[in-house]
Structure 1
Amino acid sequence: MSLQRSARAMIVVTVAAPSFAWATNGYFSNGYGVASQGMAGVGIGLPQDALAAAANPAGIAFVGNRVDGDVSLFLPKRGADVSGNAYGVDGNYSGNNRSIFALPEFGVTYQFLPNVYAGLALYANGGLDTGYAHNPFQSFGATGSAGVDLEQVFLSPTIAYKLFDRHAFGIGLNIAYQRFTASGLQPFTSLSAAPGNVTNQGADSTVGVGVHLGYTGQITPTVTLGVTWASKIRGRFDNYKGLFANGGSFDIPENYGIGLSWKVTPSWTVAADFQRILYGNVNSIANPLANLFAGNALGSSDGPGFGWRNTNIIKIGTSYAATSHLTLRAGYSHSSQPVASTETFLNILAPGVVQDQATVGATWTTDAKTSFGFFYGHGFKQTVNGTDSIPAAFGGGNANVHLSEDVVGLTVGKQF
C-alpha cells in the first residue's frame, strides 16, 4: 500500500468516523496503537509501529517503512449514586445507555529522503459518553434521558529528521475533529446566558489545529529517551454556547511528557512514561461549579465547568521477544484524579475518574514481516465520593460518580 493510498483511506475514515468514547486519563486515550496499549500506553521513548507519531512525532524515524491498522472495542461502565438530597433525587443511576464503542486507528510511515521520514496517523485522541435512561435531573424538571457524548479524532501528518543515526527530531500537526451532543439538561437553561443553547441541540462539531513536537534519542546502546509537547487546540460548539464557558469554547488541553526505554537484554525491554495533561487551563473543563453562584451564568466567560484539575500519568510497561516471531507485552498505568470531590454533581455527566489500568498484549510477526497483534486492558473501578457536592439550590446532598473500563484491540501491520 502506497503512502498516498493510505492517506486517502484515513481521510475518508475521518470524515465518516463512528462514535468514539475513551476515558482513561480524564478523557484522553491511555495509548495509541495496539503495541503501545499492550504496555499500558508507553510510547514516548519506545516507538513500535506506525502509530508512534501519536505519542511522539520523532518516533517515526525508528519504525521503518510500515503501515498499521487497529480496531479496539471499548466497554465502559459508568454511573452515579445520589444521597441526602432534599428534592427526591436520591438513588442509583446507570449511565450505560450505550455500552460498546469501536475505536479504529491507522498509521503509515515512510522514509522519503536520507534521514528524513514522513508519517500520517489517524486515531481517537479521547472522548466521553454517558446516557442515563433514568434522568438524574428529573426531579428538577428534566425530561427524557440525560447524557453527553464527546468525540475527538486526530489526523496527524508528521515529519522527522534523524541525526547521526541515533537522534531524531519530529514535528507534526494535530488536526482535531470534535463532536458533541447533550440531552436532558432542561433545569440548567434558566441558569444560562444563552438558555436556548444548553441542551437537546443535536450534534455540533468543530475542527482545530495544534502543533506536536518531539525528540527521540538513543542515549546509550540500550537506553532511549523521548520528550514530547503538544499545544492547546482551539474548539467551539456554537450549538452549546449556553452550556460551556466562554460561549461554547471547548479547547483540547496542552500536554507534555517524557519517556525512557531500557533494553535489559536483546529480548527484554522495560519502558516508562510520564505525561501531564493541563485540563486546568481550559475554562469549560476546569471552572468550578461555585462560579455559578458567584454570579457567572452558564456559557459566560467565567461560567462554571466541570472542575477538573491538571492530571499526571505514570505508565510502566515491558515487552519480551519470546521467539523471533512472538513478542509478549504487559503494563500498568496510574493517573492522578482530575475530578475533585466537591465537583461531582455536574460530573454525573462526565465521570472520567478511572486512575489505574493493567494491560497485556502480544504480536506475531511472519517471515514476510506481516504482524498480527492484540491487547486487553482493564481500567479498575474508581469512585469519587462527593463532599457537599450538590449545591443547596439543588437540594444539597452528595453525588458519588464511578467508572470502570474494559478494552480489547486487534491489529494488522506490514513492514515494507
Structure 2
Amino acid sequence: MLLKKLAALFMVAALPSWSPVARATDVFRLEGIGAVSRSMGGTAVAYDVGPGGMLTNPSTLSLSQSDRQVLLGFDVVSTDISVENRRTGEVADSDVHNNNRGPYLAPTAAFTQRLGDLVMGIGAFAQGGLGTEYGRHSFLSRGTGGANTGLENSSRLLVLDIPLAASYRMTDALTVGASLDVMWQGLNLDLLLGADQAGSLISTGRATGTLVPALGAIPGLQGAHFSLTKNQPIGSGVDAWGYAGRLGMLYQLSPATRLGASYTFKSQMDDMEGDATLTAVSGVAGQIGLPGEIRIKDFRMPAKLDIGLSQRVTPQWTIAMDISRVFWKDVMKDIKVGFDADAGGNLDVVLPQNYRDQTIVALGTSYTLSREWTVRAGLRLATQALRDDTLFAVVPATPTKHLSFGFSYTTSPRGRIDFAYSHALLEKMSNSSTPNTSEPIRVKHSQNNATLNYIFAF
C-alpha cells in the first residue's frame, strides 16, 4: 500500500499536464522509450539511450558518463484510423469528438544517480495504450435492424510504468541490471454489440449470468451497449494497480562491440474495476439502462525477451540491432468482463482475442556530425499479433512497420535536447466474423509520433 501511495504521488508530481493516452504501436506498447531510442527504431538493449533505458534494459544506465541525469520530455501522437463497412461502403473515422481523446500528449520524467559502480534510477513513463473515437452516428452505432442508437463507440487505454531501477558494473566487461516497476492502467470503453453479436456470445457460452435470460426476453432486441467512460484527461472508467519487473545484462565483447539482453516479466495486475452502464436497445421498448459495477479481469502486459547488439563502426558512427519476442498469446487470449447490476443480476462476457506472440526486429544508426549535433535514423519491423477474425474496431492496435529519424543538440556541457519522429506505415486488417463485429469491416491505421526530451547531466 505504501508503494502504491508513493507511486501515485510521483505520478501527480511528474505528470501534472497528462493528457489522454498515446496510442502504442507494438500492439499496446510504444515503439521505444525516449527520443534517442525512438529515433533509432526503438533499439535500446545494447546502446546508451539515456534514463529511458531502464524500461528496456536497466543495465544500460551504467553507460552514462555523468554522475546524475534528469530527463524531462513528452510524446505527441497523432493517428489516422478509419473503419470501412465492406457491405455498404460507409466509413467511420476515429476523430476528436470530445475532450476525452487525442491528439495525445504523454509527459515523461526520470532521474538517475551514480554511486561508484552502482547506478540507481527512478522514472515515470507512458508504456503504452490505445485510443479511438468514432462518435455516436456512424454505422458502428447502429443496432441489428439498422436503427441508429446514438450510442458512442470509443476506447482509451493508458498504461503507466514507474520503475525503480539499478545497474551494477561487475567487471570491466560485464554489467547487470534490474528494475521493480509499479504499474497503473486505466480503461475507458464505449462498445455497442449488435443482437447478432450478443447471440453469438450466448450460443458459444461466452455470455453467461442471470441477466442473459432477461436480455433474451426483451422484445425486438437490437443490441447491448457497455459504457465505462470518464470524459476527463486522466480519469478512467475502470483502473487497477499492479507491478512488474525486468532483468538485464550488458557485455563488452570488444572495445567497439557490445552485446545486451533483457527479460521483462509479465505484469501482475488487480482487476480493473469501476462504475458502468449496460444499455439494452429494443426496437419496441427503446433503450433500457442498467447501472452497475464492472470488472475487466486478468488484463495484463506481456512478458518480453530482448537481445541486442551495438557496433561502433568509426568514432562518429554507431549501428544497433535489437530482436524482441513479445509473449502476447499468454495475456490476450480473451477480454473478460464481469458486470453486476445495481438492481440485481449479473452478466459475464468473454470476448475472444487469441493474439499471437510477436517478433520484432529493430535497426538503428547514429552519426555524430560535430560536438553539438548527432543525427539518427531507424527501422522497426514486427509480425502481426492480432488476428483478422477477432479484430475489434475499438481496438485497432495493428501497425507493424515504422520508420524514424531524429537528432540531439548539445546546448551546454550539461544540457542536451533530443528529438525523434516516428511514422507507423499504413496497416490494413479485415474482419467479417461475429462476435467481434456485426458488419464486415476493414480497418486502416497509420500514425505519427514526435518525441522531445531534455537531459540535464551533472
TM-score, with length taken from structure 2: 0.78
Query: 2:142 corresponds to which residue?
Result: 138
- Once superposed, what is the RMSD of the aligned Cα atoms? 3.0
Query: 2:26 corresponds to which residue?
Result: 25
Q: What is the Cα deviation at residue 137 of structure 1?
A: 4.1
- The one-letter amino acid of 1:136's match is L
Q: What is the Cα deviation at residue 175 of structure 1?
A: 1.1
Q: Give the distance between the partners of 2:10 and 2:267, measured in 1 at CA.
A: 24
In the alignment of these two chains, the number of paired residues is 389
Structure having the higher Rg: 2
Matches within 5 A, 1:125-274: 125-133=127-135, 134=138, 136-140=140-144, 142-185=149-192, 187=194, 191=201, 192-193=207-208, 199-202=226-229, 203-235=237-269, 236-239=271-274, 248-274=297-323
- CA pair 111-132 structure 1, distance change in 2 beyond 3 A: same
The answer to whether the 8 Å contact 1:74/1:408 transfers is yes
Q: What is the Cα deviation at residue 16 of structure 1?
A: 7.1
Q: Give the distance between the partners of 1:37 and 1:371, measured in 2 at CA.
A: 16
Query: 2:340 corresponds to which residue?
Result: none
Counting helix residues as a fraction of each chain, which structure ranks higher?
1
Aligned pair partner of 1:317 in 361, 364, 374: 364
The answer to whether the 8 Å contact 2:141/2:151 transfers is no
Q: Give the distance between the partners of 2:306 and 2:385, measured in 1 at CA.
A: 17
Q: Does 1:381 align with 2:426?
A: yes
Q: What is the Cα deviation at residue 101 of structure 1?
A: 0.2
- The one-letter amino acid of 2:456's match is K
SS at match of 2:122: strand
1:163-198 deviation per Cα after TM superposition (whole angstroms, max 9, x unaligned): 123321111012111000111425467854466997
Q: Give the distance between the partners of 1:147 and 1:391, measured in 2 at CA.
A: 19
Query: 1:3 corresponds to which residue?
Result: none
Q: Give the distance between the partners of 1:121 and 1:398, measured in 2 at CA.
A: 43
Q: Percent identity?
A: 20
Quick check: 47-56 or 352-361, which moved more?
A: 47-56
1:4-60 deviation per Cα after TM superposition (whole angstroms, max 9, x unaligned): xxx976552358743212221111110011111111111011122111111111111
Q: Does 1:348 align with 2:375?
A: no
1:34-87 deviation per Cα after TM superposition (whole angstroms, max 9, x unaligned): 111111111011122111111111111111321111112100111211223xxx
Matches within 5 A, 1:73-152: 73-84=76-87, 91-97=90-96, 98-112=101-115, 114-133=116-135, 134=138, 136-140=140-144, 142-152=149-159
Q: Give the distance between the partners of 2:139 and 2:50, measured in 1 at CA.
A: 43
The answer to whether the 8 Å contact 2:14/2:108 transfers is no
- The one-letter amino acid of 1:102's match is L
Counting strand residues as a fraction of each chain, which structure ranks higher?
2
- The one-letter amino acid of 2:447's match is E
Q: Give the distance between the partners of 2:456 and 2:435, measured in 1 at CA.
A: 59
Q: Give the distance between the partners of 1:24 and 1:101, measured in 2 at CA.
A: 14
Q: Give the distance between the partners of 2:275 and 2:83, measured in 1 at CA.
A: 24
Q: Does 1:68 align with 2:65?
A: no
